[in-house]
Structure formats: structure tokens, C-alpha cells
Amino acid sequence: MSGVRLLVGTRKGAFVLTSDGKRGRWEVTGPHFAGWEVYHMKGSPADPNRLYASQSTGWFGQLIQRSNNGGKTWEPVGNKFAYEGVPGTHMWYDGTPHPWKFARVWHLEPSLSDPDTVYAGVEDAALFRTTDAGQNWEELPGLRTHGSGPSWHPGAGGMCLHTIILDPKHPNRIFIAISAAGAFRSEDAGKTWKPINQGLKSEGIPNPTAEVGHCVHRIAMHKARPDVLFMQKHWDVMRSDNAGDSWQEVSGNLPTDFGFPIDVHAHEPETIYVVPIKSDSEHFPPDGKLRVYRSKSGGNEWDPLTKGLPQRDCYVNVLRDAMTVDSLDSCGIYFGTTGGQVYGSTDAGDNWTPIVRDLPAVLSVEAQTLQ
């Protein structure tokens, strides 16, 4: 029997939400790792019971937890993230050089084919990989040592590598994104990297069309069409039809084009979702109305989805990894808020229901479709 498992990372622990294919009733377990920040959890596409979680605090640093049974039990695995060689400096907020220093793992991306291989995006920005189920992590230093590294600078949340996309049709191709350096692509499994930011325009940097320096918030891809990428930048929603070689703005009629998450419908590659946020200094929905916007044309033409979502006095945020879709026949879409709600829709966003209302601030939501 089919079902859905939602992996929810919060400011104070992790939660696992499970439902059958009807998605009407949910079992909630947790908090796992109570009191710790869980930036991200994700399951292996090759083995849905193999889960990985990034657990951290300012007190005790970074841990990685692994589950072999779908989140029922967890065990800590390797947590040593050491940069290759002398890491050097990147740019600080004030433009001065600042030493590269590991802070936390923002995103875990398990391999599409091997449950023991996982990529980790970290702050200060770098890409790590384990091939032994998390026991040992090694940096793929070609990204950080790309010639532009010393000019990268942090976004407000830190200089984080937050997006990792593995191309299902080109096994050696990886996309990543960094706040605030931009998007990069590797064609050789992470050895070398190319910035892919042509067409991005960011008013907050000295050269608005620079090759690097853009605050990309998230990138999404439909697995059937990996050359098409969608991006929520700091401001602007963007689209690329050539694997990132160039980008065009598709913000269209959005009430504001600032935001964090962006995702793609599981069965309709031209149907995409964003959550417009008022501005970079006011991280809440415009007019106190929590609205997901959906475009069925790959951007430019957007419709608000409001049924079941609060349409007054709502001032939560939805963070970059906190939106996800399942792949059941009627595509489910889910997102979590900084107010601790996780909302779900079983009809591609037409109608929404709160699954839980009172979790700690939600940092990430990932859906697993269970067969």
C-alpha cells in the first residue's frame, strides 16, 4: 500500500510524519534529537528506509544521524568536516577577507543509486561527500577552490551551500547553489565547476550582472527534464532551459518576487510553486496572507493558492528547504513555516490542510513517497 513520509527538521528537533496514500490522517513521531537544530533530513532514493539528518547546535557543533529503518531509530555517524588543505579566505559582509570556517551542514543529498553515498552542502560553503554511509566525509575541493572563491560572501544566514541537485540523466552532472555566490555546475562528478549565473541581475552587489556573487535561494528541477531549472533568487524567480547556461526572469505577476523555496509538480514539469515573501527585511507574506503561487506555464503567469491557508494576520516565513512534493498520482505538496505549521495539499495545491500546527520553527520538509 502506498504512503507518504514527511521528514521535518525544526529549530528544536526532528519529526517524522507518516500517512497512507489517502494522506488524510497523519502519525507524528518526535522530537528526535530534541533541543538540537535539524537543518535538513533526507531519505535515499535507492533505499527509502535509509535516512540521513543534519543535527547541530551552537554549543556542541555538528552531528550527522543515520536511520536504517525509516526513522524509527537513529545512530550518530561521522561528523568530521575538514576542508581539504588550507582553506584560505572568502569575503566578509564588509568586504574584508574572512577565514573559511566550518559551521554546519545545511543540506544532505543522497545519491540516486547508492544508499551509502551522500553529498553534504555546508557553511562556510563547500561540498562534502561520504561513500560509506556517513562514517567519513571528504570535501570535493574543486568547488571551493574555484578561482572565484575569495570573492564569495555570506548571505544573512551565513555563507551556505544549500542546494544540491543530482542530474538523473547525466550521472556526472551536479548543480549546487550558494548564498551568496550563485549557482555552479559540474560535469565531472564534482571535480571541476563552472559558475552558471548568466542572466541573473542582483542590485545589491557592485556589478549587478557579475559572474558570481548572487544570492540564490533555491533551485528546483523535474527529474524528467533535467536541463530545465527553476530558481528562487533573493529577488526574482528565474528559469533556465539549458542547464543553467543562461537564465530568464519569470516572476511575471507575482505580488513580490522575493522568497525562499521553489518546487516543481511531480508529474507536470511546467507546474511550479513559490511562496512570495514581502521583502528581504520583512520576512513574512504580503498583507498577512499566506499564499502559495502556482504557475502552470513554467513561470510568468501565476495564480494564488489560498484555500485552507490563513488569509489574515499571518506573519510566518517559509524557508528554502521547507517545501516538497510527493509523487502519488494526485501530486501532494507540503510546506512548513517558521510558526511551526506544516501544511499539506493532496490536489496539487488547490486545497490545503494543516497536518500539524505547533511544532518548533520548521527549517526543512522532505517528502518520501512509499510504495
Residues that bind another protein (CB under 8 A): 34-36, 57-63, 76, 79-82
Q: Which is nearer to another protein, 34 or 189 (CB)?
A: 34
As measured in angstroms, the least distance from the Cβ of 81 to another protein is 8
As measured in angstroms, the least distance from the Cβ of 73 to another protein is 12
CB neighbours of 4 closer than 8 A, spacing ≥ 6?
A: 18, 19, 21, 23, 326, 328, 332, 367, 368, 369, 370
As measured in angstroms, the least distance from the Cβ of 79 to another protein is 5
Q: How far apart are CA 301 and CA 78, in angstroms?
A: 46
Q: Which is nearer to another protein, 24 or 35 (CB)?
A: 35
Q: Which is nearer to another protein, 59 or 206 (CB)?
A: 59
Please calculate the CA angle 86-87-88 and round it to the nearest 5 degrees.
Answer: 100
Can you read off the three cell numbers belonging to residue 138?
571528504
Question: Read out DSSP for 107-124?
Answer: EEEE-SS-TT-EEEEEET
> Do 342 and 356 touch, CB atoms closer than 8 A?
yes
As measured in angstroms, the least distance from the Cβ of 195 to another protein is 28
DSSP secondary structure code for residue 173 in this structure:
-
Q: Which is nearer to another protein, 89 or 306 (CB)?
A: 89
As measured in angstroms, the least distance from the Cβ of 135 to another protein is 11
- N- to C-terminal Cα distance for the chain? 6
Q: How far apart are CA 217 and CA 204, in angstroms?
A: 15
- Residue 162: closest CA among 321, 322, 335, 336: 321
Q: Which is nearer to another protein, 40 or 66 (CB)?
A: 66
As measured in angstroms, the least distance from the Cβ of 7 to another protein is 20
Q: How far apart are CA 360 and CA 113, in angstroms?
A: 33
CB atoms within 10 A of CB 274: 31
As measured in angstroms, the least distance from the Cβ of 193 to another protein is 24
DSSP helix/strand/coil, 64? strand
Q: Which is nearer to another protein, 118 or 355 (CB)?
A: 118
Q: Which is nearer to another protein, 33 or 343 (CB)?
A: 33
As measured in angstroms, the least distance from the Cβ of 340 to another protein is 18
Q: Which helix (H) or strand (E) holds 175?
A: strand 174-179
Q: Which is nearer to another protein, 76 or 204 (CB)?
A: 76
